[in-house]
Amino acid sequence: MVGVCPERVNFNYERMNRWIFSQCTVYPLNHIGFCLFSDRYYDYVMAINLPHQDSLQAWYQGPLGQLLAQAESRQLERILPDMFGYHLLQLGVHGSDTLCGASRIPHKLKLASQPEVTSSVYAHASRLPLTSESIDVCVVSHILEYDSDPHAVLREIDRVLIPEGHVVVLAFNRWGLWGLARATVGWRKSLPWTGKFYSPARIKDWLSVLGFDLVSCDGVFFRPPLRHMKTMQKLEFMEHYSPHWLTGIAGAYVMVARKRTSTLTPIGPRWRTEKNIVNGGLVEPSTRGIHCDRTR
């Protein structure tokens, strides 16, 4: 049971953060309750000093990161071949250098917020140095969890996408086994648990506000995040026998949305001729009363 804050009157958020950390230290179960059910806890405790998104690259090189990278790559190999266009943009780093290798789009750009050898563009995700409506497909690899303003990132993606363009979002799931692990060890400030995990419903709601239509949302990596690799190998059957409706408990998910375009149909003016009540000029002859003699 979560305790009651003894300083409920006239306390600021910094004081509240110190109290929450003290409660989590004395009563570890309080941390789970704050992390799973409190959005304010997300905003003012877990978001303090968010790690750089590029620091995920080191975590992806570990055993658990490699397993997740392989699962996400397999999912994109099934999705990307059905998307066509001229330009593809990848936002964020990933454990696999060939994350978008299955795409048939010839020109691929990779953007990172820190200089990298494999990156094509160096910029912040909320301020893309790209022309409006110039990208056909945008792959967002765990950007939203580690950015201080995910709404600005989505608005910028909406700006650079062409009408009927696609956005593919890779994100960690707030619920499920990975969300529970984040609730228990997130206070240690270790990757990837220091990010703000969002549920698929939350991301879908944000995209719908911007005018996107949901195409699909598939769960990725149903195994618990364990460090013991032999146990992870024994649990590999969970990846093959997990039904589609278990997306909510997956460790991550891949969401595909299409940018909706509202086409306007021009309606021409309806020209009406005014009808005269009284006809002027000569009287028009009428055939009424004229009989034709058919016997002749």
- Considering its fold, how many domains does the chain have in total? 2
Residues 79, 253 contacting (CB under 8 angstroms):
no
My answer on whether 32 and 93 are in the same domain is no
CA distances (Å), origin 79, targets 102, 137, 177, 217, 256: 9, 11, 25, 11, 9
Identify whether 285 is part of a domain.
no
- Whether the upstream peptide bond of residue 192 has omega within 30° of 0, thus cis, is yes
Same domain, 127 and 191: yes
Q: Could you tell me the two tokens for 42?
A: 């997300």
**Do 61 and 82 sit in the same domain of this protein?**
yes
Q: Is residue 192 in a domain? A: yes
Contact 212, 284 (CB under 8 A): no
Which residue in the block uniquely carries the two structure tokens 């080191």?
58
Q: Based on the domain organization, do 102 and 248 belong to the same domain? A: yes
- In this structure, the answer to whether residues 13 and 138 fall within a common structural domain is no
Q: How far is CA 11 from CA 17, 23, 106, 174, in A?
A: 10, 16, 56, 29
Same domain, 78 and 20: no
In a domain, 287, yes or no: no
Q: Is 228 in the same domain as 136?
A: yes
**Structural domain harbouring 102:** 50-259
Would you say residue 235 lies in a domain?
Answer: yes
**The two structure tokens encoding residue 160:** 């650079």
- This prediction has a pTM of 0.71
Same domain, 203 and 163: yes
Per-residue pLDDT of the chain (296 residues; tens, 9 = 90+): 334 343 333 444 455 545 544 554 444 444 444 444 444 444 444 444 445 555 777 888 888 888 999 999 999 999 999 999 999 999 987 767 778 888 999 999 888 776 665 666 778 888 898 999 999 999 999 999 988 899 999 999 999 999 999 999 999 998 878 888 887 766 567 788 888 899 999 999 999 999 999 999 999 988 888 888 888 888 888 877 766 667 778 889 999 999 987 666 667 676 666 555 555 555 566 566 665 655 55
